[in-house]
Chains A and B, each alone.
Chain A
């Protein structure tokens, strides 16, 4: 329910359904409506991405949901309740809103920015304070370090995290995101996308996300609405279905080349086997490390730093040459992936590092396991196999494709693969 943000009883509201019915926006003096008769049902807790070329009205459609742009026709229902004629200011306090380049107010500290909506909802001061800490923690920023900073003292990625924290602060059931990661560099964008997926798994909000980047849509969306001009829905389906069965030339044009490679974006590291790997602490004595290497029966161990993050790869030979000090021995870990990273990210990391595997990290970058190149090869093989099967049957719906994929994962999953879920 939209009101649940204000009630003390509900500690955490999950998503609410959103129904758009014949939503239309017509600007005066223009003969064609900017958004023409959009109808869409979005399930509670679902992430729906609106994707389309610029000027197609996707952003206008999004802004009509919280009535930043007043629709000229149609109805909006959130959680079953018609909000088309509700007081827009009250409505917006129950809907999280995150925009490009974070939209943080530069004259307010991080804490003040996050506290805005809870304060407008007249939460008691102590609760607001706790909530700010909780939100900073949630988006992976240390409250002690970042609470009192001003937006300009943050990197683009950090600003965007705070922007998401502010949008979620009053615990709204619905979160609208308008190209939120459009203004950050590709690497940061990747991390932010992973974070959002992790958050969403914890929070189960209903998210409507606007982007013009189809790869981003595939990565984030449970379902994707590909829009053409005037927000006409060209196809509204799961990423898998859109990739394998584009509805028409417009959609396949938008999907672009390399659909097979993009399939890798649909499977996450958490879905494949994450194996354990012998690790040692950076402060462990050398003879202990040697003993660990012998007992593990491998040529290499992963050295973790004091906070349990992957630090460097250490080979047997490195220890012999190290002569008592680890400071210069081994190869620094270049890249790690989280469970929410896609197989494509993982493959990238494995290909750039020469160890044949990539470390998987969890909260605050702590080590959780590794994925090796064989696992990745097997997964790719299975994905392609499933695609071929699909092509042969040509009429297969997304449900069956999903089950085929799940089946493939089960085959490839050894018991150790389930281990990390509780930690994550």
Chain B
């Protein structure tokens, strides 16, 4: 079994699987159950400033979309930050950290955008013995209407300012949680770094309406016939999260900034992908809310087996895919592939044909007895047939050998790397080095 122990900003945990700040980490009871199940750490559900407790709606807080067999693919929520008294949360955090010293205990915070508010709460958190804090600049619903959450996260200057206040007022590591509800994730990440953040975590939830009730015409989840945008998460958001993590990991200004990856992590494989794109830990919520805390055991065994099979360490996995993330302009235009259909594996459903014929390049032929073959002189290697084929591995993209003529273009395939920056059709092309 590979060693999964993690050191993130000096915060140690037996594995990189943390529970994200969310309903599952709202109180000691849940967190203790999570630790008993094997989770490496938690980010305690966001605390607000002292005073009258937060008020939540008394109708549904969650909406969802489902795939086959009602498999939950996406979840959204309109729940606010913790609605329990501050002192109760602090007392429980202190007790749990004392009882579980080997687990990471991060405390998520969201107070008004005034230095005094942050100055007031930081010592209280520090006193619990927590390992670090996470600044909730992400939640897109409710609190953002009061100038907190994503209202802060959407303004890089605010991020930098609040991060700096926190760094100046606590010795605890500061993780800044970013909202995806922006146009370019690099700007808030750079701001966090400038403010002195020790790490960023992302993504928070995405503004969303999960569905509309076609009888009542209320958005879901519906509160007395009306709805509001909630924060979207779960497997459906993973591709968005992976991209944002990668953008920060490869950005010249934020490269090397530790990242805690969040967004649709459901299996060990999802976690490994976040790690490969530069995350040092991952945070999970929806998968636990769907299946319970036990899923961490599959994550632990799966990631261990993978590292063993690859003969690499966890640290070696982190960031391993980052060098391969690039801009479109640097993709090798001399890489020529063609779709190949394995006739033995083909079940003759014809989906590749329908997709290619109706919506792509008319590059698949269909015989009267339902044999489907690729027309190399039409195939642009778009991959759509691979994506719609219901049989894994039946259609593959095969690279054309150098020296062979691509029947579509009539051009001889070269094994030289050549990209758009040097392409003759590019008005801004620079001459290739002689």
Pairing of A with B: no
Name B's A-contacting residues (CB within 8 A). none
Residues of A within 8 A of B (CB): none
